Chains A and B, each alone.
Chain A
Amino acid sequence: MIKKLRKGNGILIFGVAWMLVIFFLVIMFIEVFFARQNAMNTQIAADSIANGVAVYMTYEGNSYTDAVRERDYVKSLVNLYTFHDPTDTRISDASLDYHSLIEDNVVDIKVTGDFSYMTNLNTSYGENGNTGYYTVHTGAMTEYTNYGRDLIHTAEAYLGCLYDYGSSGETNHQPSFYKLIYTYADHEYYGYGDSIPDCRADIDTEEYYEAWLENVGIEYRTEYALNHAEEGLSPDELNQARDNYIDNIRSDVEYSTDDNSRMFDCSGFVSYIYSTVSGVSGRVDTEMIGDSSNNDYRVGVTHVLPGDIILVNGGDHAVLFVEWEGNRFRCIGVSGGDESTYANDNGSVRVSESDLSSVPCVKYSYYNIGDVVACYHYSAPEELFQ
């Protein structure tokens, strides 16, 4: 062997060895090339999925389950349109917890790509000893607005509540007893006509209510009995019908003292809703909302999210953003009133849906982009009162 090498065959062996080295060198570069491409493809897939889920959670997603569903949907689209096929995608459920998300605002996602065709490099990229996979751990900022939807749902419960300048829910509107009687009784018979007294008149007192039950009510019961005597009701049925009738009036008076009788002005309504959702008591007026110290929370009109505060009408009016309808902002707030407005002038009870457009009260309203002065997004509702 040594003799043969001495005769020159060593050059052949050396050449073969050298060619093998070069061959493996080429293979290594090719593998590195594909490794980089695969890693970038996985990164792109992670980017698409994380951003898709993050955006989805800002406008429609309500839970971790929704996020997982959207993740699977985006993953299928990624596979369909970009031909990347992540073997596994996981979203951190902790990061999508309602409260932690308020703090973090991050969709935390791991996307794993398969490197099955280059097993000798897998151990370099494997996670927790798992070979054959490349895992990208990434996060996407999100403005997850679960509390925004809470704000809207809370606000919608007060639709129809009346306007009172300077009030922020602490004032209850006491409906006129006259109005109640007017509503339930034959107003022509009692001669009330179309003249409904102001609901703040002294006559609208609890004492008056009791007096009415004792006097007018009894009178009315008697009249009711006379008017319905021909209907063939038994005495018991007649008494029951009369009592039900009176109870209806009584229940409406009692109704007036619950949440539905609260009164607000525009910023008072915003304060009340934010306070209710956050559990932090506070009151801000429109000037405070638009104060320069709140610039940290100011967002562009195209970034506004449900529950965000929008200043319109030259900055004098504050409403809550609900959703987009075409190019218009659909908002909820108290509008239609001014400094002289106290509830509804005719002293009515809580207005009905059909009356919302003409009565100064809590209602939906629509604004164009040009009407908007500023939009404010708080990452937590209690921040409004800081």
Chain B
Amino acid sequence: MVFKKVLTKLRKGGGELVGYSVSVICIVQIIALIIGFVQFGNVKMRVNNAVMVAGRDIAVCTSRAEAEETAYNTVYNLLRESKLIDMDTLNVTVEFYNDEDSRWQKGNYVVVKVEVWNKNTPLALLNGAFHTQELVMIERVTEE
């Protein structure tokens, strides 16, 4: 009985209601897209900034192990307050740019790479792992 009434109302011009409902869904999706990009952009900026700070920190480390530990701690402290990053997936590596010369000595270059999992964005497309990396020249002189 109720269903018939609804059908009757729709036939009498309730299409506007349906159209509006569909439009609302589309608009919500678009807003979600915008919010998703804003959130992802902020996360990316945070990670990029963390990589830059970590790069400056490890430049004065005295060994690769110390550099990885320092980089991890720096990045962790800078990102831990973000609710959009899954900190359990945080992976920080420091690798020599040249495998043939992997000595920790002044003048050699290393690449610090931060990989995290972006989560909870309204846009599922942007959820997932992404990484940022920076090239850093070693400023300390020797591996003790």
B30 at the interface (CB under 8 A from A): yes
B90 at the interface (CB under 8 A from A): no
* A contacts with B: majority SS: helix
Of B52, B109, B140, the contact of A44 (CB 8 Å cutoff):
B52
Q: Give chain B residues whose Cβ lies under 8 Å from the Cβ of A33.
A: 37-38, 40-41
Question: How many residues of chain A get a CB closer than 8 Å to chain B's CBs?
Answer: 34
A43 at the interface (CB under 8 A from B): yes
Of A32, A47, A48, A56, the contact of B107 (CB 8 Å cutoff):
A56
B135 at the interface (CB under 8 A from A): yes
Q: Contact at A36–B135, with CB atoms within 8 Å? A: no
Q: Contact at A47–B30, with CB atoms within 8 Å? A: no
Of A26, A56, A58, the contact of B34 (CB 8 Å cutoff):
A26
Separation of A81 and B109 alpha carbons in the complex (Å): 11
Q: Give chain A residues whose Cβ lies under 8 Å from the Cβ of B38.
A: 29, 33
B75 at the interface (CB under 8 A from A): no
Q: Among the listed stretches B2-10, B54-62, B81-89, which one makes contact with chain A, having 4 or more residues with CB under 8 Å of it?
A: B54-62
Which bucket holds chain B's interface residue count? 35 or more
* In the complex with contacts A29-B34, A36-B45, A51-B59, A43-B111 CB distance below 8 A: no
Separation of A58 and B40 alpha carbons in the complex (Å): 39
Of B16, B30, B106, B142, the contact of A55 (CB 8 Å cutoff):
B106
Of B134, B138, B141, the contact of A324 (CB 8 Å cutoff):
B141
Q: Give chain B residues whose Cβ lies under 8 Å from the Cβ of A41.
A: 48
Q: Give chain B residues whose Cβ lies under 8 Å from the Cβ of A59.
A: 106-107
B119 at the interface (CB under 8 A from A): no
B129 at the interface (CB under 8 A from A): no
Q: Give chain A residues whose Cβ lies under 8 Å from the Cβ of B49.
A: 40
Q: Give chain B residues whose Cβ lies under 8 Å from the Cβ of A11.
A: 16
Separation of A56 and B59 alpha carbons in the complex (Å): 12
The residues of A with any CB-CB pair to B shorter than 8 Å are 11, 15, 22, 25-26, 29-30, 32-33, 36-37, 40-41, 43-44, 47-48, 51-52, 55-56, 58-60, 74, 77-78, 80-82, 302, 324, 326-327
- In the complex, besides A56-B107, A74-B137, A82-B111, 5 extra interface pairs with C-beta distance below 8 angstroms are A26-B30, A33-B38, A55-B59, A55-B138, A302-B62
The residues of B with any CB-CB pair to A shorter than 8 Å are 16, 23, 27, 30, 33-34, 37-38, 40-41, 44-45, 48-49, 51-52, 55-56, 59-60, 62, 97, 106-107, 109, 111, 132-142, 144
Q: Which 10 A-B pairs have the closest CB atoms?
A: A52-B137, A48-B135, A40-B48, A33-B41, A55-B137, A33-B37, A324-B141, A29-B34, A81-B111, A55-B139
